[in-house]
Chain A
Amino acid sequence: MGKLTIVRKVVCVAAVEVPPDEQAFLEYVQSGGQVETTDWMPDDYRAKLIKFIEMHGNSELMGVLPEREWILKAPTLQRKLALTAKVQDEVGHSQLIYRVAEDLGKPREQMLADLISGKAKFHNVFHYPTYTWGDVGVIAWLVDAAAIISQKALLKCSYAPYARIMKKICWEESFHILHGRDVILAMVTGTPEQFGLVQEALDRWWGPLMQFHGNPIPAGEDPMYKWRIKSQGNEEARQQFLDGYVPQILELGLELHDPKLRKRDDGVWEYTEPDWDELKHVVTGHGPKTQERLAFRKHFLDQEQWVRDVVLAA
């Protein structure tokens, strides 16, 4: 029986051999250098990297839950298929992301256990309830838009395996935004009640959306930026979101009720300072739906443990 043996050659292009020295590593990544799984990394880099990647994987997995409910209520066959495919993509993303973290040394079971116990975190937006089909549109369009901005900034991550999966993730997210926008457009051009559902959902989601990219940490103080895990600061991401999406929201006749929201002459968006305490409170496990969703996840993980035991047994 033939056995396929693949030889992977790593070609050193510019005689780059990063010595096990934190300063040299820092200079290397700050000048655009990337590292692979087996390269030497400072302990701090490795720890921050795993935590960041883990939170991302957790977020994709938890993001499934608010939307999943609406899969079962989709009002047409096309919306049913599109929404199921979108949520399927999120699960697929968590698989890609967890695999990267696993290859860095943290087992999947441990990540899931830390998620359930609250030791590991996930993004703020997935701690909030959904109430109507309007939420479905707003989440697919605007929450995914906010996420794609962060994800595009990760395409240049200094840790190459993570940067590589972002390509597939960003490609799939672009379908989600199309779907979300289509759902929104159908409703804003539908009945007045449907328009109202979108406006009402937007009113509820605007606060979490403004908090999504995190509080503005100066680039010099942001370890994620220092290690070039992220290539963009939090405020830069938020500005990009506002610049891209406020005009798109307003042109549909929807309203944004922040009296301070405006674009200055120098191109910078001003807005009412988001409630950073609320953000911290939510991501540390106190969001309106946090415990219920974690319990839901735990229920199925426990119930189906036997399947993993039987199927994945060596």
Chain B
Amino acid sequence: MNEWEVFRRERKGQPFEHAGSVVAPDADFAEAWAREQYGRRGESVALWLVPRDQIRDVEDWADEFDLKYRRVDGYSIKARLKLARENASAVAEGGA
């Protein structure tokens, strides 16, 4: 099948987003048809058209070891921050 994926930019400053697909025999038909399906109401300032078989699909990653340091949830600062604050105020009271 001749699916062409359509990406559209809604307005300047926005990224291209996947909008859908048209079944077309070549780039000219894909353009003519995508223009109207995704632009007749002025809802897009630009389109990218790509034949589906030109897209490389990447869907899996290895996550075997616990590489928490790479992620936001890998740090747990609450407990130590509390302790540090308690220590600091104890020192302040002691010194007054």
Q: A312 vs B5: C-alpha distance in the bound complex, in angstroms?
A: 16
Nearest CB on B from A17, distance (A): 10
Question: A153 an interface residue at 8 Å Cβ cutoff?
Answer: no
Q: Which residues of A contact B (CB under 8 A)?
A: 3-10, 12, 15, 38, 88, 92, 95-96, 99, 102-103, 108, 165, 168, 172, 311-314
Additional A-B contact list (7), CB under 8 Å, known A4-B50, A312-B25: A3-B54, A4-B48, A5-B55, A6-B56, A8-B57, A15-B63, A108-B23
Which residues of B30-80 have CB atoms within 8 Å of chain A's CB atoms?
A: 37, 40-41, 48, 50, 54-59, 61, 63
Identify the closest chain A residue to B1 (Cβ). A102
Asked if residues B20 and A99 are in contact (CB atoms below 8 Å), the reply is: yes
Size class of the B contact interface (CB-based, 8 Å): 20 to 34
Nearest CB on A from B28, distance (A): 11
Asked if residues A5 and B37 are in contact (CB atoms below 8 Å), the reply is: no
Asked if residues A311 and B25 are in contact (CB atoms below 8 Å), the reply is: yes
Contacts of A88 in B (CB 8 A): 40
Asked if residues B58 and A96 are in contact (CB atoms below 8 Å), the reply is: no
A-B contact count (CB 8 A): 52
Identify B37's interface contact among A10, A15, A95, A102, CB under 8 A: A95
Identify A8's interface contact among B25, B41, B58, B63, CB under 8 A: B58
Asked if residues A9 and B58 are in contact (CB atoms below 8 Å), the reply is: yes
Identify the closest chain A residue to B5 (Cβ). A6
Asked if residues A4 and B54 are in contact (CB atoms below 8 Å), the reply is: yes
Q: A92 vs B6: C-alpha distance in the bound complex, in angstroms?
A: 14
Chain B 1-41: CB-based contact to A (< 8 A → 1; otherwise 0): 11101010000000000011111010001000000010011
Asked if residues B20 and A38 are in contact (CB atoms below 8 Å), the reply is: no
